[in-house]
Every structure is written in C-alpha cells, then in structure tokens.
Amino acid sequence: MDWDGARRFFTAVMGSSALWGFLGVLTGGALTWWQASRTREAEQHQDRQYAAAALSARLQRFVLACADAAFDDGTVYGRPASEDSYSPQTPTPELTYAGIDIQWRSLPAAVVDDAFRFEIRVSDVATTLHGINEYDTPPYDLYMFERRKLYATLGIEAEELDAQIRAAVKMPGRKSPGSTWSRLKAELHSLELKEQKRNSSLDINLQQEAGSRPSATP
C-alpha cells in the first residue's frame, strides 16, 4: 500500500474548502430539521392537551345535567308536579361537540371514535325516552323512572369517557374526581333494586291471575 500517496490524498481532502462547506450545509440542515421537529411536537402536544381539556369541560357539564335528571322524580315538595301526574323538573341533558374549536386529529383515533359514538348514544336515549313518554299514561311514573335510570347511566358513562380522554393524552385527573360519579352509581343501584322489586311483584301478580282463571272445559 502506498502510505505516502494515501497521506497526501487525506491532507488534500481535509484541506478542501468545498468539503467543509458541504459538511456545514449538511449540519445546518439537520439542525434546522431537528428544531422544526421539536417545534411541531410541542404544538401537537399543546393541541392534544387543549382538545382534551375542552372535551372534558363539555362532558362534565353533561354529567352535572345527568345528575340533576337522575335525582328528578317529577315531584314538587313530594307531590306530583302537575294535575296528579309526574313531569320533569329539570332540563333534558344534551351533549353536542358543535362549536368546540379543537384539532380533532391531534387526539388518538380511538378516543375520537368513542367520543362521537357517545354523542350518538345520548341522542338515541333521548329518542327512546320520547317514545316511552308518548305511550305512557298518567301519572307517567314509568317515563320518569326510565328517565332517571337512563340519565344516571349516561352520567356514569360520561365520567368514564372523560377519564379515558385524559389518560390518552397523559393529562392529570381532576382535583375532585368521582363525587358526582359516586352519587350516580349509588342512585342507579337504588333504581335497579326498585326495578327488580317491581318486576318481581308483577310476576307474582301474573302468576296469581293465571292460577285464579278457571280451567278450560274439555
């Protein structure tokens, strides 16, 4: 191997201003890309945090409205609200993401999907209750019972969705989580027990009626 020739080539290359210029451009380009990437990541992180905060606030307002509906038995001072009939004394809880100025693409696709599925579910429940109200008869106690139970369920699900969104973007939980959630869980459990008792009584009555009917003459 020609060591003298190799040394002369290396010295010539290292002394080339063109090479150093190329390396400078390459390094500067890499630094610019790195800075732009860091800036873009910071902006995306900020967009995610803002989107999660905005959705959380909207969901928490819905949870509070659901709590009002879940504890609304349609009475005023313990008596049916109007003409011996039960009727809602609280507004119907509504949930819509219209008007929220957020970057939806900054959130995980699964979170966005769950959020919009829940919005549709809220609308479906409102439709279901409208149908029950149409076919119920005075004093409309069945409608009021189902209204309380369904909105208690939706309030619990909204709390869980809120926690899911916060966890997805690594946002700290709320300072006083679970208080409304616990009340809703307790109320839903109470309503479910009442429903079971009512259904058991209905079954007993049906069995008694069936047993009291005269048998068919052969």
Q: Splitting the chain (218 residues) into consecutive groups of 10 residues, what average pLDDT does each group show? A: 55 56 60 55 80 95 96 91 89 95 93 97 97 94 96 96 93 72 93 90 56 55
Q: Which pTM was predicted?
A: 0.77
**pLDDT at site 142:** 93
Is 11 part of a structural domain of the chain?
no
Q: What is the pLDDT of residue 61?
A: 96
Q: How many structural domains compose the chain?
A: 1
Whether residue 23 lies inside any domain: the answer is no
Burial class of residue 216, CB neighbours in 10 A (0-12, 13-18, 19+): exposed
Report if residue 18 sits inside a domain: no
Residue-range definition of the domain harbouring residue 113: 29-203
* pLDDT score recorded for residue 179: 84
Residue in 123, 108, 119 with CA at minimum distance from that of residue 165: 108
- Confirm if 196 and 160 have CB atoms less than 8 A apart: no
In-domain check, residue 212: no
Residue 213 lies in a domain: no
The secondary structure of 135-146 as a DSSP string is H--TT-HHHHHH
Residue 163 lies in a domain: yes
- Check residue 83 and give its pLDDT: 79
Q: Is residue 104 part of a domain?
A: yes
Task: Let me know if residue 66 belongs to a domain.
Answer: yes
What is the C-alpha separation between 56 and 162, in angstroms, rounded? 5
- Give pLDDT, residue 217: 52
At residue 84, the pLDDT reads 82
CA distance linking residue 160 with residue 185, whole number of Å: 12
Query: In whole angstroms, how far apart are CA 115 and each of 108, 138, 166?
Result: 11, 36, 12
